[in-house]
Structure 1
């Protein structure tokens, strides 16, 4: 215990024990950064990069299609058109349907590599609601475009490049244009969905940033081909889909962590 001595009158003062206990109590009860609380203002959430995140989960083991099924065909064997080729998921021919995860995800961070054939088109679709009333994954789930920008006509359609590789398909002009590598080369994509906000990256460059609900999202949809589509972008959780657009495409190194 420390004592305070005042030289002028020789009085020695001993601080009350309760003050020390009070300080200890305040320290132990202080908000934790890991809890997602801003210690300076508990009503404000911590930034996403400071929040405690889940463990990475591998979605593709490089050998089998375990954990995946063709849309609306859960429990059925995956057709030979979706194959595993040299450590990658390979769509050899179209017409089979999109490949979707068995599990559904809400807030998550997804990393995936893709390679498209010359003149090819595909996509990574999220928050897919699997229901027979919706015949395709893109009827409910927004899409991160996968495309050969040089040869596929979609790259020149839409508005301001909003159908090019890495973009939020037909909904938003890319934050960064020209992030994709040519057909036949591997691209690394990253998609982050957290509490109503989304970010997309391609080869380390941000290509999209947008809300997943609310007035701004509704305006984007109303100005796109999805205007009036019942169910589009309405679900906060859902499957992740790899699109069968009729062209050869490869996907590998797929992992996800829930936020």
Structure 2
């Protein structure tokens, strides 16, 4: 930063002007308190921490910020792509690594009726997803669990159908609107599933509102991508799953509460 030099006679003039316009001490003190309050209000809350109010509401953390406790790779497969780094749950990306060391991450616990929230961001041209009601009876999680789509809507190298865009119930329900932030920024996801009533939220916008296991649900399943996957969307209870699609993706502030 350049230093500003003021001649002596100018400095004296400024000092006089300053004395004439000085604030009363009490007023200046009040301004300082107000500024301090504003700074506190805009400060970012610590990540991966539940407030007392959240705990009382039944929330629990899915990611503790320091380890993969509570998670494992689908069907016990070995993987070297997931880790906890700087308070983030991180999946390494690679455009060339198609080895057997890549794998989807699932929770140890299973959930039936729940509300889930998470913050995420994805690398340019990236693709991933949050799946739920996942069972381990099939080769891959997507064969059983519906997917909340996470993708680079703007720069993905292939043409995307509406049902492939961020917030979609993948291959079932397209998002009502595009609500994802530009790549590199954090997005906030909320998934609510309660007795078949399913909602996907993205950055405060409800983008999917549907009912599972209805005639319409069955029609979407049997006439679309899932027509040959008999186990898709059948389970009423299952694991939460984070998809390793070969793209770099980060998660934080993952929490869930079970609904009665």
1:191–1:200 Cα contact (<8 Å) kept: yes
| Number of equivalent positions | 198
Distance 1:82 1:153, change over 3 A: same
Residue 24 (structure 1) aligns with: none
Q: Which has the higher helix share?
A: 2
Which residue is equivalent to 1:125?
131
Partner of 1:106: 112
- Matched ranges for 1:76-225 at <5 A: 79-93=79-93, 95-131=101-137, 134-153=138-157, 156-158=159-161, 161-175=162-176, 177-225=177-225
Contact kept in structure 1, 2:165 and 2:174, CA below 8 Å: no
Checking the alignment, whether the CA contact within 8 Å between 2:132 and 2:145 is kept in structure 1 is yes
SS at match of 2:221: helix
TM-score normalised over the length of structure 2: 0.73
Q: How much has 1:228 moved relative to structure 2?
A: 2.4
User: Per-residue deviation at 1:96?
Assistant: 1.5
Q: In structure 1, the residue corresponding to 2:164 is in which secondary structure?
A: coil
SS in 1 for 2:193: strand
Unaligned residue ranges in structure 1 (runs of 5+): 1-52
> 88-97 vs 239-248, which deviates more?
88-97
| Cα deviation 1:21-58 (Å, max 9, x = unaligned) | xxxxxxxxxxxxxxxxxxxxxxxxxxxxxxxx961011
State yes or no: 1:68 paired with 2:74.
no
Name the SS of the counterpart of 2:206 in structure 1: strand
The reply on whether 1:55 has 2:61 as its aligned counterpart is: no
Distance in 2 separating the partners of 1:218 and 1:125: 19
Give the conservation status (yes or no) of the 8 Å contact 2:148–2:168: yes
SS of 2:216 mapped into structure 1: helix
- Work out the CA distance in 1 between the residues paired with 2:126 and 2:107: 22
How far residue 244 of structure 1 moved from its aligned partner, in angstroms, is 0.4
| Structure 2 contact 93–249 (Cα < 8 Å) conserved | no
Query: What is the deviation of 1:196?
Result: 1.0
Distance (whole Å) between structure 1 residues aligned to residue 174 and residue 150 of structure 2: 15
Q: Which runs of 4+ in 1 moved over 4 A?
A: none
Cα displacement string for residues 3-31 of structure 1 (whole angstroms, at most 9, x for unaligned residues): xxxxxxxxxxxxxxxxxxxxxxxxxxxxx
